[in-house]
C-alpha cells in the first residue's frame, strides 16, 4: 500500500499527475478541490459552507476540510489500494490533523511530492483550463485543447471555466499558497519525505520525473 501527498501551487499539475499515477498504480486519487466542487454543485450544507471560500480563492477552514478527508480515508478502496491526497494538507494545521488520522489507522505516509514551476506558466495554465460540464474531463486551451473550442471531445457537453480560474482570483490563490501552504515544504523536508518535481515540462517529461522521484 502506497500513501502519497501531492503538494504545490495552483496550476502546478497536482490533479493531472495524481489522475495519471492513480490510474497506472491503482491508487485512490482524493482531490479535496473536486470533493468541494461536487458538494457545491449538489447544494449540500458542506457545499454551501465551502462556496464563499472556494469561489474567492481562500481556504476552507482546517477542521472542516480535515473531517472531509477523514471520512474519505475510511472507505474500503483506500484501505485496499492506498491513496494520493491532491490539495490536502494545505496548512501546517491540516498536516498535523492528517498525522492524527494516519496514526489512528496505523498508516504511514511514503512521500510528499512537491510540484512547482514558474509563476507565469502557472497563471497561463490556470486561466486556460476548461472543464466539461458532463463528464468532468479537463482540457487546456493552450496546452491540450479540445478538437472543437467549447465542446468536450468525449461526451459533447459544453466546456466551462472554473470561477476561481479568472486571472484575478488565480493570482490571489497563488498568494494564499505562498502564505499558508508553502510552509509545508519545510514540514515534510524535515521528516525526510519531500520529493521535488519541476513540473514546467511536457506531460511526458513530468510524468517521467514523478515516477523517477518515487522509484516507480
- Known catalytic residues are 14, 90, 129, 162, 173
CA gap 15, 21 in Å, rounded:
10
Using CB under 6 A, which of the segments 7-15, 76-84, 96-104, 153-161 binds ligand AP5?
Answer: 7-15
* 33 scored as a contact of ligand AP5 (CB under 6 A): yes
Q: Report CA dihedral (90, 98, 14, 80) to the nearest 10 degrees.
A: -170
Q: Scan residues 139-168 and list those touching ligand AP5 (CB under 6 A).
A: 140, 143-144, 164
Nearer to ligand AP5, 79 or 137 (CB): 137
Residue 211, Cβ density class (10 Å: 0-12 exposed, 13-18 middle, ≥19 buried): middle
Using CB under 6 A, which of the segments 21-29, 73-81, 104-112, 200-208 binds ligand AP5?
Answer: 200-208
Look up cell 459544453; give the residue.
158
**Cα 196 to Cα 30, 99, 157, 209, distances in angstroms:** 20, 21, 36, 9
Interacting residue ranges for ligand AP5, rule: CB under 6 A = 8, 10-16, 31-33, 36, 53-54, 57-60, 65, 87-88, 90, 94, 125-126, 129, 138, 140, 143-144, 164, 173, 199, 201-203, 206
Amino acid at each position: 500500500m502506497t500513501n502519497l501527498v501531492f503538494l504545490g501551487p495552483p496550476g502546478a499539475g497536482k490533479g493531472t499527475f495524481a489522475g495519471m499515477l492513480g490510474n497506472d498504480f491503482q491508487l485512490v486519487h482524493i482531490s479535496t478541490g473536486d470533493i468541494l466542487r461536487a458538494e457545491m454543485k449538489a447544494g449540500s450544507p458542506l457545499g454551501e459552507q465551502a462556496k464563499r471560500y472556494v469561489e474567492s480563492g481562500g481556504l476552507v477552514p482546517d477542521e472542516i476540510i480535515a473531517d472531509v478527508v477523514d471520512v474519505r480515508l475510511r472507505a474500503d478502496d483506500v484501505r485496499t489500494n492506498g491513496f494520493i491526497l491532491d490539495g490536502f494538507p494545505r496548512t501546517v494545521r491540516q498536516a498535523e490533523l492528517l498525522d492524527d488520522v494516519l496514526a489512528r489507522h496505523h498508516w504511514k505516509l511514503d512521500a510528499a511530492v512537491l510540484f512547482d514551476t514558474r509563476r507565469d506558466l502557472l497563471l497561463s495554465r490556470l486561466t486556460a483550463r476548461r472543464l466539461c460540464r458532463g463528464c468532468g474531463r479537463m482540457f487546456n486551451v493552450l496546452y491540450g485543447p479540445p478538437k472543437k473550442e467549447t465542446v468536450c471531445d468525449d461526451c459533447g457537453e459544453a466546456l466551462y471555466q472554473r470561477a476561481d480560474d479568472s486571472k484575478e482570483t488565480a493570482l490571489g490563490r497563488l498568494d494564499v499558497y505562498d502564505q499558508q501552504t508553502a510552509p509545508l515544504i519545510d514540514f515534510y523536508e524535515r521528516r525526510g519525505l519531500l520529493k521535488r518535481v519541476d513540473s514546467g515540462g511536457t506531460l511526458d517529461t513530468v510524468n517521467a520525473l514523478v515516477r523517477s522521484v518515487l522509484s516507480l
